[in-house]
Amino acid sequence: MSSDYYEILGVERDASAEQIKKAYRRMAMKVHPDVATEPDAAEKFKQVQEAYEVLSDPQKKSIYDRGGDPMGGGFGGMPGGGFGGFGQAGGFAGGFDFTNLVDAMFGQQASRGPRSRVRRGQDALVRQALTLSEAAFGVTKPLNVDTAVVCPRCEGSGCADEQEPVTCTTCSGNGEITQIQRSFLGDIRTSQPCPACRGYGTVIPHPCGECSGEGRVRSQRTLNVKIPAGVSTGNRIHLESQGEVGPGGGPAGDLYVELVVQPHEVFTRDGDNLEMVLRIPMTAAALGTSFEVATLEADREDTDEAERSITVEVPAGTQSGTRIAVPNRGIPRLRGSGRGELGITLVVQTPTKLDSHQKDLMRQLAEARGETQPSAQVHKGKQGVFDRLKEAFGA
């Protein structure tokens, strides 16, 4: 392999530090002895290391660019060579630290350090049932919430008798311990949270008897939740900082109240519209009439009497299934103005029990209308769709 450091890493002489670093990562992964199968992989990997050591150091790079010897004695095992030669076991002589390779390839890994005992709490979700009228017109409801709150005895510190946490003697307050393992590449250092303090860097010798050192306890409380008009099932009310208090008495998360609207015995909801079914006698449908219909406002105690019902006019000859729309009697729009409509579907009821006198009257009506025998048109032979349409329209 060429001794030109730029050629070894495959970069131009004016390459930036970031470009040099990326090129080194790519080449190191390509020629690493654990990955490459070529017999000279170890030597290539050594030269890639040397090239990166020089080009990543501004002072050594400056000496190299001026034609000097940045290593102070040349390559491979010469004094000042930096990495030294390979030993008989295949590892680097001179105690090469494998973490240097990892840091260069994947970025410098800083120590995590001790983690704070005070952390933000989790968000909480509760469900609240509403009647249809409450969902339509809005309401303020008391909500019982069971969440973690700051411990009243230690005020979140987790310590008994106003004491303070003390530095962990196992990790000396670092929150983590380092283990060193030997490999053919040298020493491999790994860090993990301290098992004595669980990564906090401190321990609580005398925990609070109320919260056992957590700094928080569970408690029930009541919140008054204002629910706007026009909500529906699945809508959520967001209450900031009303959720679970965090460990160590940390700031509380948020509380979300998910709304569930219960079915109504008369009305059904279709978006912003209300729908209902009104059953009327056959005679009323034939002759026409008017009905008083209770509105959704009738479910509210504070509604004006005039708003509790409306008069519905049924014209003569109304057929079963006719829908009468009453504007502005539906659900108030959640994000907007006005209300939907109230749809009243009429179902004409046929009498099932008639006395002899009523039957005589019905027969007289049928004879007067020529309806004593039902008539039906039967299509003879095969007719197409267009033939049937022409016949229906008298064409």
Binding-site residue positions for Zn(2+): 151, 154, 168, 171, 194, 197, 208, 211
Rounded Cα gap, residues 155 and 10, in angstroms: 61
* Structure tokens belonging to residue 223: 């919140």
| Three-state helix/strand/coil letters over 143-196 | EEEEEEEECCCCCCCCECCCCCCEECCCCCCCCEEEEEEEECCEEEEEEEECCC
C-beta of residue 41 within 8 angstroms of C-beta of residue 32: yes
- Please report, in angstroms and rounded to a whole number, the separation of the first and last CA atoms in the chain: 96
- The strand pairing partners of 217, in sequence order, are 149
Q: Give me the half-sphere count of Cα atoms (radius 13 Å) on the Cβ side of residue 18.
A: 0
Rounded Cα gap, residues 309 and 325, in angstroms: 15
SS3 of residue 28 by DSSP: helix
* Structure tokens belonging to residue 185: 């590449």
Q: Which residues have a Cβ under 8 Å from the Cβ of 16 and sit 6 or more positions away?
A: none
CA proximity to 39, closest of 90, 106, 104, 107: 90
Query: Measured on CA atoms in the order 352, 357, 361, 364, is the torsion positive or negative?
Result: positive
C-beta of residue 204 within 8 angstroms of C-beta of residue 165: yes
C-beta of residue 58 within 8 angstroms of C-beta of residue 145: no
C-beta of residue 104 within 8 angstroms of C-beta of residue 52: yes
Rounded Cα gap, residues 269 and 267, in angstroms: 7
CA proximity to 330, closest of 343, 345, 348, 311: 343
Burial 211-236 (b: 16+ CB within 10 A, else e): bebbbbbeeeeeeebebeebbbeebe
Binding-site residues: 151, 154, 168, 171, 194, 197, 208, 211
